[in-house]
Chain A
Amino acid sequence: EAQVTQNPRYLITVTGKKLTVTCSQNMNHEYMSWYRQDPGLGLRQIYYSMNVEVTDKGDVPEGYKVSRKEKRNFPLILESPSPNQTSLYFCASSLFSGWDEQFFGPGTRLTVL
């Protein structure tokens, strides 16, 4: 089944404790991205990657890191999480570009205390 998977689905952590949210797709997509979704603010892009070893900032990159060492994986790293990073995070992938159909993962709900 073609899909985007994320882990963990739910995470509660404390300020400053490094964490990684994994994202994997099995559709051989080149473009992958991370979004956060907040009430009243909608979906906002954090980082994107157009291919292996090619990543760039989206609209709200502060406090986040990403890497793309393999085509299928695109982890999101919070090296020192803060409470303002409490949010619902979605990984998405598409065939080639940012305006192709985006396939979203199921979401990761992160709470930073």
Chain B
Amino acid sequence: QKEVEQDPGPLSVPEGAIVSLNCTYSNSAFQYFMWYRQYSRKGPELLMYTYSSGNKEDGRFTAQVDKSSKYISLFIRDSQPSDSATYLCAMSAGSGGGADGLTFGKGTHLIIQP
């Protein structure tokens, strides 16, 4: 199974709010978890990368992984209009000698209202 579930939104919040984005998955072999940000008419860019369970913080962004619940989250503090984008979760089991690719969620469209 490779399915990853992600609410497509759109999610609209006022500037300065805390944003919570989430994905659930069914494959217990996934151990590499990523969040990509995609602006309109652009390719995705890596935002956060986490291995196994736990939290990772980078500036206003925090990624959380709960492997026991098969649930990952991305929190954005003090959200800015420039954070308006589509956020894609992605994950991999990291097997196959390097061949194993990423399974992406469908993406959540986030709108930060000024």
Q: How many A-B residue pairs have CB under 8 A?
A: 65
Known: A99-B94, A101-B46. A56 touches B99 (CB 8 A): yes
Asked if B45 CB lies within 8 Å of chain A CBs, one says yes
**CB of B35, distance to nearest CB on chain A (Å):** 12
Asked if A105 CB lies within 8 Å of chain B CBs, one says yes
Known: A50-B98, A101-B49. A106 touches B42 (CB 8 A): yes
Q: Is the CB of B43 within 8 A of A105?
A: yes
Q: Which of B42, B45, B102 contacts A107 (CB 8 A)?
A: B42
Q: Which of A53-86 contact B (CB under 8 A)?
A: 56, 58-59
- Report the contact-size class of chain A (Cβ under 8 Å from the partner): 20 to 34
- In this complex, what residue of A is CB-closest to B4? A42
Expressed in whole angstroms, the Cα–Cα distance for A58 and B100 within the complex equals 9
- In this complex, what residue of B is CB-closest to A101? B46
Q: Which of A41, A48, A58, A90 contacts B44 (CB 8 A)?
A: A90
Q: Given A106-B42, A107-B43, 16 other A-B contacts at CB below 8 A?
A: A33-B101, A42-B88, A42-B104, A43-B102, A43-B104, A44-B104, A45-B102, A50-B98, A90-B44, A92-B43, A98-B92, A98-B98, A99-B100, A99-B101, A105-B43, A107-B42
Question: Which of A's residues lie within 8 Å of B, judged by CB?
Answer: 4, 31, 33, 40-45, 48, 50, 56, 58-59, 90, 92, 96-99, 101-102, 104-107
Question: Which of B's residues lie within 8 Å of A, judged by CB?
Answer: 2, 6, 8, 32, 34, 36, 41-46, 49, 88, 90, 92, 94, 96, 98-102, 104-107
